[in-house]
Structure 1
Amino acid sequence: MTISDLRERTGTPVRTVIVGCGMGAVRLVEELLARGVTGITVIGEEPYAPYNRILLSAVLEGTHRRGAITMAEQEWFEHRGVELRLGTRVVDIHRERRVLELADRSEVAYDRLVLATGSIPSLPPIRGLVQVDGQLHEKVHSFRTLADCEGLLAALPGAASAVVVGGGLLGLQVARALSIRGLSVEVVEGGDHLLRSQVDTAAGKVLERSLTKLGTAVYTETRAVKMAETGLVLDNGVVLSTDLVILTAGGRPSINLARRASLDTRRGVIVDDQLRTSDEHIYAIGDCVEHDGRTAGHVSPAWEQAAVLAAGLAGEAVEYDGHRVVARLRATDLDVAVLGDPEHAEGEIVQVSNPVTGVHKKLVVKDGVIVAATLVGDLSRVGQITQHFDKCTRLSSGEPGQLLLPPRSAASATINLPDDAEVCACAGVTAGRIRACSSMEDVRTTTRATTGCGGCRSVCEQLITTTNLGMKETVA
């Protein structure tokens, strides 16, 4: 049923309620407003205004202020007629009456409901992690929310060492941030290499070597089994004496609310190509979603889903055909980009690797098209490679190899990017839109580029610099 149908039937604006106040929810609000949709309510369990969760490690590192990662203040919503309810927990969905029950037993009615509940951390099976009172051990911190980040920052004074449990994207970001803060850091990873969900063994080993050079010890094929008075005990008998233990391993879609409402779920909330759940009035986007048997876990699919759902709710005929996986590691001195699924994609492998210099680059090419890529240690051509990946460009036999060779300068690679090349995968921003901006502040506020994973910052800065220089030369 379209918006016009509902409005004609009820004579009032359609009530669209979004449960969750993360990055996907904010993007959905923006997309709905752009299409003239009113009657929007957003309910968030955290007490903070929506913020960029990806940049929490930058706050931990000290390169971003807390306020710099806020995506939209309360006033932004108020000025646009959107009701924002923070610090509010939804405990039940009463589908037959189309109302939400809140923790204080009050109710919120909806015509269309969108679940954007994200994901929740999974505690690893480490004895002594949780104390008798149900609280984490005083040395142990999770790292997923702004409250987690603030708690860890408060624990840093006086701390000299830290162990990060988990060698995925988040784990490496936290490890690097703490290292920059001056702590002695060790990473414990159960798999045989770092970033095992994104890259192959060769790339993981190159990354491990780079991390070691930066002063961080890495333990792979090792699991933490016990939190003892002497430190964190590993399954090989080694005891890591440490002041802090940070948990970054494991997370799962937050589907408890959906399950309580008897919606269809497996690993995530199951949705169709319109992002609709098993209830025709309830939709879902982001990390909590399972579409075509797949869950996401990155911001770019959530934003992509938000755009598709907003169009559908506004009455447009659209379908979601699956997300593009574009993962970037946001950590100082560690450059990693992963496009697609390079470990499972079918095709020919074009690869360049130099462990000594910390560079590993791999393209998976099928019928001349890049279907996946891994770039470690050198992102000078990431813009061009991403463009070919997005557009399914059919390359000549020699082009994939040329793309793995460094340009004469990173700036020259950026200058040659066509205007329609996507430089920010998170926000879907092209080089032309960046060139149209006057400054980096203009880039952030008008396009949202650099506000996702932050991996496109250097390319955006080069585009702004070269464009401004070109304008000055033209004027002269």
Structure 2
Amino acid sequence: MAERVVVVGGGMAAVRLAEQLVGADVRLTVLADEPHAPYNRILLSAVLEGTHSADALTLRSPEWFAAQGFDLRLGARVLELDRDTREVVLVDGERIAYDRLVLACGSIPTLPPIRGLVRRDGTLHPKVHPFRSLADCRRLDKSVVEVRAQRASKPSRAVVVGGGLLGLQVARALSVRGVLTEVVEGADHLLAGQVGPAAGGVLARDLRRLGTEVYTGARAVRMTDDGVQLDNGALLPTDLVVLTAGGRPSTALARRAGLMVGRGIVVDSTLTSVTDDRVHAIGDCAEHRRRTTGFVPPAWEQAEVLARVLRGEEAAYDGLRSVARLRATGLEVAVLGDPRTAEGEVVEVTNPIAGSHRRLVVHGGRIVAAALVGDLSRVGLITQLYDRGTILGPDEPGQLLLPEAADAPTTLPDEAEVCACAGVSAGEIRACGTVAECVDRTRATTGCGGCADAVRRLVGEVGPVRVPVG
């Protein structure tokens, strides 16, 4: 009899798992708490910016799930996990039995300690907008329209709290919409969790050049009707405040069920809970080797490994591959590994005037980490060398940091990785006849979207990439 696999969560990791289980001898049920079909959260800022429609973010439609024989439940909120009876209990009292339970709950936003953010009745100040879900995106989009209408000829203003990947994406989207936007980041430079001060400085300069002011080494401490007050005494007048700083793995269900939880749900190399061998965790909520991740590539890799485990195959997740990309108008960032702390010799080129910074950390002749800001023409080749642990010659690291010709993506070797999120090579993309076919067969462009132009060139298409629904 086919195993009953129940997935709690309807995000990008859950969809990837479902895709990998097509044709497997399982009865799959996916419990998504949002009312929408699973969508690409990374591209929410593109919806806010207006370059993508909300429908274009759909990863797989309900019809696709039904066609595979999978049961997708939208708006299904889970109350608790009953490990004794192996059942998931929904808030309406329904109990769903499982043989294998997969927790793909993602992460939840946390409110920064800003006085006045929450009113006495427990609601957020009307100017304040978290930015995590499609509902958040639509609410912010509506507020931008309303504020611009109210202010007539005067420009509307926004403060984005948080200078990480999401904060920069939202800031650029608002700026493109004509909103005067300011970014507040408590660390001494932008993207402090991924890159060093030199790269952060280049990003700040780029943002200012694009019309977005940046305040680093400053924290928002008070929210008033007049604006946001910083700990240095400055008051930033604003119509909108967007919260992009802070977030933690969603572990409440697991904790109440008695599973071992650190920062995330603790799993072994097969993505199995160390407490219960019938329970697994993937994505943002999973903790492997004392590490959690908030990026798509490792979540998708975990989903692929777990799918093999559920099929009864030998598979293990080592957690070594970490790739992060920033997709925002006028900003290009890629981070491999941890270039801030990785041990090795550093090869670095910074040109703040041109808005570029490139850093490789090389140990034993191998690239162990990298940060690229402003010029990603070599990111495919560098990612390939990083993944494979290729030993480089003494001159090669420096050559890799030189800019590449504009038509270089068409000359990439077949084995070069083009889509870092989905791990898709140039050869796999060339084997597809259209972008739509490439999306369906490989899922390239459905992560951060940063490879869209390269994919379009490799399949010989022109015009915008359209991600099919379902």
Name the TM tier (shorter chain).
over 0.9
Q: Which moved more, 1:98-107 or 1:436-445?
A: 436-445
Aligned to 1:124: 112
- Give 1:466 shift: 8.9
Mapped partners of 1:466, 1:434: distance in 2 = 12
Question: Partner of 1:46 in structure 2?
Answer: 34
Partner AA of 2:126 in structure 1: E
Question: Over the residues paired in the alignment, what is the CA RMSD in angstroms?
Answer: 1.2
Moved over 6 A (4+): none
Superposed displacement of residue 131, structure 1: 1.2
Q: CA deviation at 1:323?
A: 4.1
Identical amino acids, percent of aligned pairs: 60
Q: 2: distance between equivalents of 1:22 and 1:393?
A: 34
Q: Deviations over 1:189-214 (max 9, x none)?
A: 00000000000001000110010000
What SS is found at the alignment partner of 1:321? Answer: coil
CA distance in 2: counterparts of 1:220 and 1:37, whole angstroms: 53
Q: Distance in 1 between matches of 2:215 and 2:296?
A: 28
Matched, 1:156 2:144: yes
1:44 shift after superposition: 0.8
Tell me which residue corresponds to 2:235.
239
Q: Amino acid of the residue matched to residue 31 of structure 1?
A: Q
- Residue 39 of structure 1 aligns to a residue whose secondary structure is strand
- CA distance in 1 between partners of 2:461 and 2:168 (Å): 32
Contact 1:171 1:249 in 2 (8 A): yes
1:9 alignment partner in structure 2? none
User: Contact 1:222–1:235 at 8 Å: present in 2 too?
Assistant: yes
Matched, 1:253 2:249: yes
**Whole-Å separation in 2 of the counterparts to 1:44 and 1:21:** 4
Aligned counterpart in structure 1 of residue 9 of structure 2, from 15, 20, 32: 20
Looking at structure 2, the residues matched to 174 and 452 of structure 1 have their Cα atoms a distance apart, in angstroms, of: 17
Structure 1 residue 196 corresponds to structure 2 residue 192: yes
Give the match for residue 450 of structure 2: 455
1:404 and 2:404 matched: no
1:46-445 to structure 2, matched below 5 A, reads 46-157=34-145, 158-159=147-148, 160-277=156-273, 278-407=275-404, 409-412=405-408, 414-445=409-440
Name the SS for the 1:258 alignment partner: helix
Aligned to 1:8: none
Q: Tell me, which stretches of 5 or more residues in structure 2 are unaligned?
A: 149-155, 463-470
Q: Distance in 1 between matches of 2:426 and 2:392?
A: 21
Quote the residue 1:471 is aligned against.
none
Q: What SS does the aligned partner of 1:294 have?
A: coil
Distance 1:323 1:212 in 2: 35
Number of residue pairs matched? 453
| 458-467 vs 111-120, greater mean Cα deviation | 458-467
Q: Which runs of 5+ in 1 are unaligned?
A: 1-11, 468-476
The Cα shift of 1:459 comes to 1.8
Quick one: distance in 2 between partners of 1:406 and 1:164?
Answer: 32
Match of 1:473 in 2: none
Per-residue CA deviations over 1:5-40 (Å, capped at 9, x if unaligned) read: xxxxxxx32110000000000000111114x23310
The answer to whether the Cα contact below 8 Å between 2:434 and 2:461 also exists between their aligned partners in 1 is no
| SS across alignment from 1:295 | coil
Cα distance in 2 for residues equivalent to 1:109 and 1:437: 40
Whether the 8 Å contact between 1:38 and 1:81 is mirrored in structure 2 is no
TM-score (structure 1 length as normaliser): 0.94
- State the Cα deviation string for residues 294-326 of structure 1 (Å, max 9, x = none): 001101111000010010111111111114111
Tell me, yes or no, if the aligned pair for 1:168 and 1:194 is still in contact at 8 Å: yes
SS for the counterpart of 1:15 is strand
Shift of 1:125: 0.2
Distance 1:62 1:269 in 2: 36
- Three-state SS of the structure 1 residue aligned to 2:460 is helix
2:435 and 2:461 in contact (8 A); partners too: no
CA distance in 2, matches of 1:367, 1:427: 28
Q: Distance in 1 between matches of 2:359 and 2:143?
A: 40
Q: Is the 8 A contact 1:304 1:323 kept in 2?
A: no
Deviation at 1:416, TM superposition (A): 3.0
AA matched with 1:441? A
TM-score (norm 2): 0.95
SS in 2 for 1:149: helix
How much does 1:457 deviate?
1.5
The code of the aligned residue for 1:398 comes to D
Deviations, residues 334-363 of structure 1 (Å, cap 9, x unaligned): 011111110111110001111111111010
What one-letter code is carried by the residue in structure 1 that aligns with 2:21?
A: L
Q: Is the 8 A contact 1:270 1:289 kept in 2?
A: yes
| CA distance in 2 between partners of 1:326 and 1:13 (Å) | 35
